[in-house]
Amino acid sequence: MIAHNQNQESPGLNIRKRIDKVKSVVRRRKELRRIKSLYLKNSAVVDRDVYYKIRLKGNDSDSTKSEEFNQLQKRRPWRENWDGGEFGSHGSISVIGRRKEMEDAVAAEVGFLTKGCKRYDFFGVYDGHGGSRVAQACRHWLHKFVAKRVEEEGEEIKWKEVMVAGFKEMDDEVNKNGKAVAAMGSTATVAVVGEEAVVVANCGDSRAVLSRGGVAIPLSIDHKPERADELKRVEDCGGKVINWNGHRVFGVLSTTRSIGTYNTRQYKK
């Protein structure tokens, strides 16, 4: 008697799986080459995702005469904005990777806010996890919550208080859905760009950098479980950090702070 294992896959099926895997790798490499070619083609416009020249108040005359400024003028086209001031272009690239659904989102709201005679642009990067709903909600609403808080401020904007309140309102809005977004969340790294300053706020492990002379200068600090202060904060709230394919909150979440993720909310206070 010959025993036949019905669960054993046929050789033909294994070959088809291998062929599909090879095709997937080839498509992935083609996509990366295409993105690289687009980046090189547009490198005169953007450095990575966003490039901005910021005029520092009181130093315009000195900066415009500098050799570095003249070199930048030759390398990059500029658009006229904000009463004749020169500000750089912006762009973004998103890669889905191995996931079936794009969980990330990008916001670019040019002129999202006017305060007195000053105008501001808003840029946000939202790295979703567990699905795309929270990242998309942040893309649509976070800049509006920030703008609302600024409008409530007096003549002098207290940006730290504005950002904290805006992020909290966004988190509360998302978590109203309760169990529907129990495992869904998103990081939020935003930059408000004005004529005289750039304000950066961060929640999670996405990162903002400033390119200066080809060197990336960090503008934000990642909220990671391996950080001693973040580890202590999570444990003080009753949570645990488990080293499971990297340090993760309860072995699942690789960042200690996020918008949403209702089922770990008590450990993100």
* Domain boundaries along the sequence of the chain: 60-220
Q: What's the pLDDT at 108? A: 92
Q: Is the dihedral of CA 76, 80, 81, 85 positive or negative?
A: positive
- pLDDT at residue 4 is higher than 80: no
What is the average per-residue pLDDT within 36-63? 42
The pTM of the full predicted model, rounded to 2 decimals, is 0.67
**Structure confidence by residue, pLDDT tens digits, 62-108:** 444 455 545 544 444 444 444 444 455 778 888 887 778 889 999 99
What is the average per-residue pLDDT within 224-241? 89
Rounded-to-integer distance, Cα 129 and Cα 101, Å:
10
Rounded-to-integer distance, Cα 125 and Cα 116, Å:
27
The dihedral region occupied by 153, where left means phi > 0, alpha psi between -120 and 50, and beta the remainder, is: beta
CATH of 60-220, one of 2.102.10.10, 3.40.50.2000, 3.60.40.10, 3.40.50.360: 3.60.40.10
Token couple for 221? 């600090």
